[in-house]
Chain A
Amino acid sequence: MRRWVSVILVTALALCCVMGLASCGGSDEPGIVPEGTYSRDLAGTTINVYNWGEYISDGSDDSLDVNEEFEKLTGIRVNYSMYESNEVMYSKLKSEAVAYDVIIPSDYMIARLLNEDMLRKIDFSKLSNYHYIDPKYRDLYFDPTNEYSVPYNVGMVGIIYNTTMVEGTPDSWSLMWDEKYSDNILTFNNSRDGFATAQFLLGLDVNSTDKATWEQAAEKLKEQSPILQGRVMDEIFNKMENNNAAIAPYYAGDFLTMQEINPDLAFYYPKEGTNIFVDSICVPASSQNYEAAMMYINFLLEPEIALANAEYIRYASPNTAVVNSDDYSLKGNEILYPAAEATVPVEYYHDLDPEIRSYYETLWEDIVRSTT
């Protein structure tokens, strides 16, 4: 019996320690948003938020814990869970097994959700902070009437390179096909971003519905396979930070994170054009606490909260209060906020019809096989 008891005791002890630690994590400092700005009528209810991983200021590294602030202010409990791709979020939502109140999909996914009647209109009269959103990010193609989405982050894809390994100052996608850097080139391990590198280089439409142009891009990508070091996603961080690779395309905001660790890294937007994306806050049709969702969205737009998020995530913010804030460490950063004359042509991804989608996925599998 003693063995039993020891097992149970030790486990219970471990559990208690962890719970104790978790509960003492919070601080009693006064909230950043003054109390009383939000009503406490919905205190005691819960709200289900579904967001990308590492996509909110969460209290680590002395940052602000956004969800905790919201809970303190309103008394609404935030059930926060995370996904790693739009597609995963979509399938979870489509299964109708979980009712989320707030989701943050990317542009093309919003188009798909709207198309399938899976979103609910946002009541903009409840969003007193909406005026902070830069008009340039309103009325975007996926929500032309501006009724279903509120922009959260903006970003563009560019090429990161190591200045000690790459000669001169490159400005084109063709760098990724340069045999001089054989075995030092990384590229995306997801079909849409992967195809786009070749499509921009060849001047093709990234939203083409013509199968022939996808084949053309696929040929170009196969040509690149022998000189690639690998197709990766988050490993790009480590490889570039540690000089294990010379060239990799990735999202601009993430380059800033890498450069902080490896100052030899540089970044450019290829002159042929590149992908721009907007991740926007939406409310699914199945939302069960709509009023709290409105409060949460408005809270995310608060200048202080949006600033904390912008500092943490390091993507470009569509919130003018953040962009113009003197406290913003990335204010005027020319990579996140390129001046008008420095910009290259940009293209949003659109939601393509299933037939084209499965066609290019098949092509992609073929390309991945040719890498090894």
Chain B
Amino acid sequence: MKTAQRVYTALIFILIYAPLAVMILFSFNSTSSTSVFAGLSFKWYRELFSNSDTLEALKNTLLLAFVSSIAATLLGTVTAVGIYRMRSRVTREIIKSVTNIPMMNPDIVTGVSLMLLFVFVGRLLGRTNTLSFWTLLISHITFNLPYVILNVLPKLRQTDRHLHEAALDLGCSPVEAFMKVTLPAIRSGIVSGLLMAFTLSLDDFIISYYTVGADFQTLPLKIYAMTKKTVKPDMYALSSVIFFTILILLMLINMAGMRSDNNSNGSKKSKKKV
């Protein structure tokens, strides 16, 4: 039974990581073939870092992911707090469902409808060049928002409602009470929301495809445009770089998370003693 469990786990891991392993291996291939490994070389990495187009697209993708996830996190946290404090249960449930719709919606519907909206508003304002970096940013914030709310709301529900009131009683202004009491309690929800928003924005292809303008090309769009000719192995090199960056980032975050969990456990214990 034990072996069966191990084999099963191993199988799952192989299925998840084999494609990545193959891609990383072939990013070091000295030719562009994907079946014959002709020899170890850094050719595609050199190529990647000498291609200003690709680096520009990478820079755009990161910039967009960074700005849109931060904006969505700010907006989403404020929204989540607002929803949580709503008096009427019915309106709260309605608002919660409404904010979930964009998440359930197929990307293609979100993408097309956003594009139509932008074009429509653009026409009203008499503009012919509506789609740009800004429309792309608005779209990304829009589809990131529900994920942030989804991550922050449960954390709010776990906190004690009366803590905030107690802070007010003890002389905090509402803003201070939020910053000093509520925010630390929901911080982990905010961080996971931010990370989720960041990765979603990084990957997104379909929504960007419809809302992108002429001035801003992201990496997924660039790779897709290559498919009439051929996707070159410098893209494997790039994907490997991104994979390792994310891996290191996640490891750092988990390590930081473990440390702060230990700290908070420690402080709880000391409170009990008092």
Contacts and interface: CB of A to CB of B under 8 A. Distances in A.
Contact of B253 (A3, A18, A99): A3
A19 B191 CA distance: 25
Contacts of A99: 128-129, 214
Interface stretch (B1-9, B47-55, B79-87): B47-55
A6 B252 contact: yes
A54 interface: yes
Interface size class of A (residues with CB under 8 A): 35 or more
B230 A257 contact: yes
B269 interface: no
Interface string A68-104: 1000000000011111110000000001111110000
Interface stretch (A21-29, A267-275, A329-337, A338-346): A21-29
A233 to B, nearest CB: 7
B178 interface: no
Task: State the majority secondary structure of interface residues on B.
Answer: helix
Contacts of A49: 214
Interface in A1-58: 1-4, 6-7, 10-11, 14-15, 18-19, 21-22, 25-26, 46, 48-50, 52-55, 58
B33 A3 contact: no
A60 B50 contact: yes
Contacts of B27: none
Nearest to B255: A6
Interface stretch (B96-104, B159-167, B221-229): B221-229
A85 B225 CA distance: 8
Given A15-B63, A22-B52, A242-B33, A50 B214 contact: yes
A107 interface: no
A234 interface: yes
Given A233-B228, A234-B231, A4 B187 contact: yes
A18 B252 contact: no
Contact of A46 (B50, B52, B215, B253): B215
A237 B129 CA distance: 37
B222 A53 contact: yes
A53 B128 contact: no
A59 interface: yes
B227 A242 contact: no
Interface centre among A49, A54, A97 (most CB of B within 10 A): A97
A34 to B, nearest CB: 23
B135 to A, nearest CB: 8
Contacts of B35: 238, 242, 244
Contact of A60 (B51, B222, B227): B51
Contacts of A48: 214-215
Contact of A261 (B33, B56, B224, B260): B33
Contacts of B122: 97
A4 B249 CA distance: 12
A169 B195 CA distance: 58
Given A7-B195, A97-B118, A99-B214, A54 B226 contact: yes
A234 B53 contact: no
B225 A84 contact: yes
Contacts of B187: 1, 3-4
A10 B191 CA distance: 14
B194 interface: yes
A56 B129 CA distance: 25
A286 interface: yes
B252 A10 contact: yes
Given A15-B62, A22-B52, A85 B129 contact: no
Contacts of B225: 52-54, 81-84
Contacts of B228: 52-54, 84-85, 233-234
A1 to B, nearest CB: 8
B217 A22 contact: no
Contacts of B224: 53, 84
12 contacts: A22-B55, A50-B214, A52-B229, A58-B52, A59-B50, A60-B47, A60-B50, A60-B54, A95-B115, A96-B123, A233-B228, A234-B227
Q: Which 7 A-B pairs have the closest CB atoms?
A: A53-B225, A48-B214, A82-B225, A22-B55, A25-B52, A54-B229, A242-B35
